[in-house]
């Protein structure tokens, strides 16, 4: 029986940090980029995990991303700020903005930070959950280059434009929603290409806008909702407005493609984060009791035959627990890219955790 190699999360974390520092990224960039990628890999969001490391290195080496950015507040009053990320790797801009939003929410009950001149930041949930870990509700939005058709459309219009929300729950992991407004993110198409697996139905389209299960000919993504895709397109528009229109950044259809040939020119993405302190709206114990009651009834509600009812985030926490114990299987394309990075920067590959029989 064939075996797959499993790598411990700690080893992957250290390798990513070492590669980023070796290519010249400052400590803050290496830390934020690795934290975001490892959030994706740890929680099973592999399309936005460590497989992005070679892409980020190429962007840093090429000049698309600033290796030592100077992030700065450029506007704001009261509970609102605008952060110029100085073409930082997107995770650094997002973590910095969420830290600011949490600080503002501690003063005003709510904190909102728009981000200018940022870039692809990976899993949006990584930033929303920072607020939940500090007892607040967190939301994160970002736009990206056009790759998603409109409902009944036959051309790329929105980006995958993610929306993430995290809510603290006493004694439990946070309620965590992290979704693309497309049926799937494009990075998942790339993951399917690397593994040779067929795409699910109604998630991607060929060049004419017709759905396809063949990842190798997928030219655009479908909006979330299949025959009700107008809902996904509308949510993508909301993320577009908060991320790009509100911050004065480029709209999705004006952005250079993430996977384009030009890795020397900054892309000018926008993003937006929000933190809410529940106690600003009423008694904290009432809020906590309400979340516990909500999730208790949700998880014990009657499922369909052969199914299990789960709250947003439950699957991710289960995956994280398993991967903390057993490590994670790295796909062949990523393993090959890691070997090239190790050779380029004279680094050791992360050690294998074990051999796993699938």
Burial label for 221, CB within 10 Å (0-12, 13-18, 19+), is: buried
Which pLDDT does position 194 carry in this prediction?
82
pLDDT range class, residue 244, cuts 50, 70, 90:
very high
Residue 325 within a domain: no
Residue 135 within a domain: yes
Which pLDDT does position 354 carry in this prediction?
53
Gap between the Cα atoms of 177 and 322, Å rounded: 20
Burial label for 195, CB within 10 Å (0-12, 13-18, 19+), is: exposed
Residue 139 within a domain: yes
Least confident among 187-191, 231-235, 315-319: 187-191
pLDDT range class, residue 227, cuts 50, 70, 90:
confident
Q: How far, in whole angstroms, is CA 305 from its chain's centroid?
A: 32
Which contacts (CB < 8 Å, 24+ apart) does range 234-241 have?
235/161, 235/163, 235/181, 236/148, 236/158, 236/159, 236/160, 236/161, 236/181, 236/182, 237/158, 238/141, 238/163, 239/141, 239/142, 239/143, 239/161, 239/162, 239/163, 239/181, 240/143, 240/158, 240/159, 240/161
Instruction: Say if residues 185 and 192 touch (Cβ distance below 8 Å).
Output: no
Pairing of strands 80-84, 175-179: unpaired
Residue 328 within a domain: no
H/E stretch holding 155 reads none
Residue 78 within a domain: yes
Where in the sequence is the domain holding 215, given as residue range(s)?
Answer: 69-316
Number of structural domains in the chain: 1
Q: Concatenated DSSP letters for 20-55?
A: HHHTT--HHHHHHHHHHHHHHHHTT-GGGSGGGHHH
Whether the per-residue pLDDT at 356 is higher than 50: the answer is no
63-104 pLDDT per residue, tens: 999 999 999 999 999 999 999 999 999 999 999 999 999 999
293-320 pLDDT per residue, tens: 999 999 999 999 999 999 999 999 999 9
Instruction: Say if residues 226 and 21 touch (Cβ distance below 8 Å).
Output: no
Backbone angles phi, psi at 204, to 5 degrees: -145, 155
**b/e 286-316 (16+ beta carbons within 10 angstroms → b):** ebbeebeeebeeeeeeeeeeeeeeebbbbeb
Which pLDDT does position 353 carry in this prediction?
60
Its pTM stands at 0.93
Which comes out higher in pLDDT, residue 215 or 184?
215
Start-to-end C-alpha separation, the chain: 8
Residue 189 within a domain: yes
- State the CATH number of the domain containing residue 159: 3.30.1370.60
**SS3 of residue 177 by DSSP:** strand
Segment 223-240 shows an average pLDDT of 95
Residue 38 within a domain: no
Can you list the positions of beta strands (E) in the chain? 4-7, 72-77, 80-84, 110-118, 137-142, 148-149, 156-158, 163-167, 175-179, 204-205, 220-221, 269-276, 328-329, 352-356
Gap between the Cα atoms of 81 and 79, Å rounded: 7
């Amino acid at each position: 029986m064939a075996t797959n190699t499993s790598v411990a999360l700690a080893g992957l974390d250290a390798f990513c940090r070492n590669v980023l520092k070796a290519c010249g990224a400052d400590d803050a960039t290496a830390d934020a980029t690795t934290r975001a990628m490892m959030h994706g890999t740890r929680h099973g969001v592999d399309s936005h995990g460590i497989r992005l490391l070679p892409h980020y290195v190429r962007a840093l080496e090429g000049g698309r991303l600033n290796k030592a950015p100077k992030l700065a507040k450029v506007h704001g009053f009261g509970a609102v700020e605008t952060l110029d990320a100085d073409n930082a790797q997107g995770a650094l801009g997002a973590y910095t903005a969420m830290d600011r939003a949490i600080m503002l929410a501690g003063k005003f009950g709510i904190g909102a930070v728009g981000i200018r001149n940022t870039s692809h930041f990976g899993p949006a949930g990584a930033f929303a959950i920072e607020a939940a870990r500090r007892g607040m509700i967190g939301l994160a939005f970002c736009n990206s280059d056009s790759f998603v058709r409109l409902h009944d459309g036959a051309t790329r219009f929105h980006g995958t434009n993610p929306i993430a929300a995290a809510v603290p729950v006493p004694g439990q992991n946070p309620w965590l929603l992290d979704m693309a407004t497309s049926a799937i993110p494009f990075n998942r198409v790339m993951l399917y290409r690397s593994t040779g697996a067929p795409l699910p139905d109604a998630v991607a389209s060929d060049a004419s806008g017709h759905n396809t299960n063949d990842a190798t000919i997928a030219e655009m993504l479908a909006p979330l909702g299949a025959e009700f895709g107008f809902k996904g397109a509308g949510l993508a528009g909301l993320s577009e407005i908060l991320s790009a229109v509100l911050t004065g950044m480029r709209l999705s259809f004006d952005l250079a493609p993430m996977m384009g040939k030009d890795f020397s020119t900054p892309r000018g993405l926008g993003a937006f984060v929000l933190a809410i302190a529940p106690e600003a709206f009423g008694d904290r114990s009432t809020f906590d009791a309400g979340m516990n009651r909500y999730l208790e009834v949700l998880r014990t509600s009657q499922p369909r035959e052969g199914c299990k009812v789960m709250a947003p985030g439950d699957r991710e926490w289960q995956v994280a627990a398993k991967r903390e114990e057993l490590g994670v299987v790295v796909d062949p394309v990523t393993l090959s890219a890691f070997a090239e990075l190790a050779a380029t920067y004279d680094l050791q590959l992360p050690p294998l955790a074990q051999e796993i029989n699938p």
